[in-house]
Structure 1
Amino acid sequence: MSHTSTEMYELKKKVEELKKIRGRATELVSLYVPAGYDLNKVMQQLREEYGTAQNIKSKSTRKNVLGALERAMQHLKLYKQTPENGLALFVGNVSEQEGVSDIRVFAIIPPEPVNVRLYRCDQTFVTEPLEEMLRVKDAYGLITVEKNDATIGILRGKKIELVDDLHSTVPGKTRAGGQSARRYERIREQETHEFMKRIGEHANEAFLPLLEKGELKGIIIGGPGPTKEDFLEGDYLHHELKKKILGVVDISYSGEYGLRELVEKASDILKEHEAVKERKLIQDFFRHLAKDTGMITYGEKEIRHALMLGAVDTLLISEGYDLIRAKVHCNACGWEELKTIHESDFDAFRKSYQACPKCGSQNLSFEKWEVAEELIKMAEESGANVEIISLDTEEGQQFYKAFGGLGAFLRYKLH
């Protein structure tokens, strides 16, 4: 099943938020309801857990667990039936102040079906089933081969994982003639064969488990000379893996850099693979920047303005972008102010406003939300595409460092 990058990005952000929360005791409730499961049975279990929780000795823990279970049951009443992909519900006291109760409900309808039925009350939320959904399943096997070196890797999503770096001591060709030269050549051929056999064994070990799980989409082989063809033609790879070979590519390098070159040179073979798409997207962005075409923009203020005008064609947001919008509002006169800051600066933002600068009232309220989520919503409302740029590629890293991880392609020039 294919999911949009924004779905996965939003799920990843929610999981990261949940993982940061710690209960003072075993008082955080995690509930997973599989697709199609009867909600009445879930409610019955929660009522039973509520009865059991009344026996908890600690007064504060008992209060927080009972509060969490009450909120969970209230939330479940909002659903007539289990959502199509099931439901993940996380409820508990998120307050960091001793003796203060702030029970929150985090409800997630995941992008793919929940296949586990789970209830747990613990000091942390159970996020592993959601993390498994975030794990990129589709993988491509990568092999670079030359006479004395071979590298085995896996392209998963936009990230290249180095699996093995192999080396041999196969001697070079001799220039001498006669019987000793023929014997030398036989030794050389035998050592080459043993090295190829070792490459095959390591590749089989790396790729067969992926094949069995249905995750291996193909294998690409590369190298600077004819050795890669010799490896391919020989009986070194498992016969089932041979069926997965998508192509053979000429490359100049070996090692980790060779794997990156292999992915780049095999872009026609991989076509719509995420790493290739991302590389092309960022290269196009830099090309527009260099030529000053006026068809891109960057910076939060500029992008927000372009989105409001409906001028954005494609919004680019880095996975590393983590700024928030902080708002202070005067409940007496209606004055308010907005700032874009780091999450870690929110407490300082609150403390900097003791009273309303307009009317002097101390009746102030504060809000915060993620800039990325706000911009994604604006993009979707204006019909713009959204691309989440990873930090797993060189281009993604460059985009984050140079532009803070925020950019956009425009539908028309802004004057």
Structure 2
Amino acid sequence: MDPKLLELQMLIESLEKIQGRGTELISYYIPANYDLAKVLEHLSYEYSTAQNIKDKTTRQNVSDAIAKIINYLKGFKKIPDNGLVIFCGNISSELGKTDIRLWALEPPEPLNIRLYRCDSRFVVDPLKDYLEPKQIYGLIVLDRGEASIGILKGNRIIVLENKESWVPGKIRAGGQSSVRFQRLIEQDVHEWLKYISDKARMYFDKYIENGNLVGILVGGPGPLKEKFVKEDYLPYYLKQKILGVYDTGYSNEHGLKELIEKAKDILKKTQYIREIELVKMFFEHIGKNTGLAIYGFDDVKRALEMGAVDVVLISEDYKENLKEILELAKQNKSDVEIISKDHPEGEQFSNFKIGAILRFRIY
């Protein structure tokens, strides 16, 4: 994960914990390249309006927050290229005490909404959209007995559907009965593949529409996957998105994971595969005692201060001292990766909590 996105995630989490008294917390989303003069004019209007608030304490706190925002914006010549998001208000939980705080950030991508709101909580949902992975891979594994459809989104496999088929197994009848039953089975297989195609369209179309579907991977333990791909079950716009067809041992959730492992050459730039490869490298250095992998906060911090860290690995559950680690990583141009527990390697790494792969030995 980009350290900037990690910092954004941490900010969102901290803002979500804050609850104001009444409607004293201001959230202000200013679009990219919006006229700064209009922003200041709007805030002056809101300041005047705030004088009509009946509750004296709320009126004072809202007025103070708006004044703080105005004073902050006076240091700008124009709104930043990606826009500006400001949170400000009294965060004191003690009655009668005031603690007006302000947070401001330029979004990682251009902001296209304008929003001003006073509430008991900060509005952070628009920021959460920036944390969502933009690149999506469709996953389909199938055979005559079962099929699973999912997506690879960032570092997570999301299972959208797992379905057992209605296609019967092998038949023992002979003669004309055998031929008749075979035709019925072939019709069932045809309907089964149509069902999978319809479900794929239902799940993948929205990612086609927003341009996020990079490609589709298809797998399965038998030859039915080739029939599904070669014949006209999938519509053209999905068929042209197929990046590869792979043999897998399963057609369930395990099959989806196996499909990704088989297609790792295609997926090597995805977050999921990057995490797995980094954790494997980490454990390889540990196992061979090369001195190029360390773990534990104190050792990682020391290595960062020495400029020895290539990449910091942090388990998704580890929340301690993150700001300090991110700041040191930024100063020393070290990468930071958050390792999810959605794959076996990440689950194993979670026991170490934090580690690093080094540029050179420090011991």
TM-score class normalised by the smaller sequence: over 0.9
CA distance in 2, matches of 1:288, 1:81: 49
The answer for the alignment partner of 2:288 in structure 1 is 291
Quote the offset at 1:27 in angstroms: 0.9
- One of 71, 74, 79 as aligned partner of 1:82: 79
Say whether 1:316 aligns with 2:266. no
User: 3-state SS of the aligned residue for 1:220?
Assistant: strand
CA distance in 1, matches of 2:94, 2:190: 67
Structure 2: runs of 5+ lacking an equivalent: none
Q: Which residue identity lines up with residue 169 of structure 1 in the other structure?
A: W
* Number of aligned residue pairs: 363
Say whether 1:255 aligns with 2:252. yes
User: 3-state SS of the aligned residue for 2:201?
Assistant: helix
Quote the offset at 1:176 in angstroms: 4.6
CA distance in 1, matches of 2:210, 2:356: 37
The answer for the alignment partner of 1:394 in structure 2 is 344
Structure 1: runs of 5+ lacking an equivalent: 324-370
Say whether 1:146 aligns with 2:94. no
CA distance in 1, matches of 2:197, 2:305: 56
Say whether 1:53 aligns with 2:3. no
Quote the offset at 1:234 in angstroms: 2.3
Quote the offset at 1:279 in angstroms: 0.6
CA distance in 1, matches of 2:45, 2:222: 69
User: 3-state SS of the aligned residue for 2:265?
Assistant: helix
Quote the offset at 1:303 in angstroms: 1.1
Say whether 1:38 aligns with 2:35. yes
The answer for the alignment partner of 2:208 in structure 1 is 211
TM-score normalised according to structure 2 size: 0.97
Quote the offset at 1:175 in angstroms: 4.8
The answer for the alignment partner of 2:183 in structure 1 is 186
The answer for the alignment partner of 1:9 in structure 2 is 6
- One of 352, 356, 363 as aligned partner of 1:408: 356
Q: Which residue identity lines up with residue 93 of structure 2 in the other structure?
A: E
The answer for the alignment partner of 2:108 in structure 1 is 111
- Counterparts of 1:10-409 in structure 2, within 5 Å, are 10-323=7-320, 371-400=321-350, 402-404=351-353, 406-409=354-357
Contact 1:306 1:312 in 2 (8 A): yes
Q: Which residue identity lines up with residue 147 of structure 1 in the other structure?
A: R
User: 3-state SS of the aligned residue for 1:267?
Assistant: coil
Q: Which residue identity lines up with residue 238 of structure 1 in the other structure?
A: P
Q: Which residue identity lines up with residue 240 of structure 1 in the other structure?
A: Y
Q: Which residue identity lines up with residue 263 of structure 1 in the other structure?
A: I
Residue by residue over 1:135-165, the C-alpha shift from the partner in whole angstroms, topping out at 9 and shown as x without a partner, is 1221111000111100000111111111111
Contact 1:317 1:372 in 2 (8 A): no
CA distance in 1, matches of 2:345, 2:37: 50
Q: Which residue identity lines up with residue 48 of structure 1 in the other structure?
A: Y
Q: Which residue identity lines up with residue 359 of structure 2 in the other structure?
A: R
User: 3-state SS of the aligned residue for 1:403?
Assistant: coil
Of residues 106-115 and 164-173 in structure 1, the stretch that sits farther from structure 2 once superposed is 164-173
User: 3-state SS of the aligned residue for 1:99?
Assistant: coil
Q: Which residue identity lines up with residue 172 of structure 1 in the other structure?
A: G
Q: Which residue identity lines up with residue 352 of structure 2 in the other structure?
A: F
CA distance in 2, matches of 1:164, 1:21: 37
CA distance in 2, matches of 1:172, 1:409: 51
CA distance in 2, matches of 1:77, 1:293: 54
TM-score normalised according to structure 1 size: 0.85
CA distance in 2, matches of 1:302, 1:119: 45
**Two-structure CA RMSD over aligned residues (Å):** 1.3
Contact 1:223 1:254 in 2 (8 A): yes
Residue by residue over 1:325-373, the C-alpha shift from the partner in whole angstroms, topping out at 9 and shown as x without a partner, is xxxxxxxxxxxxxxxxxxxxxxxxxxxxxxxxxxxxxxxxxxxxxx212
User: 3-state SS of the aligned residue for 1:269?
Assistant: coil
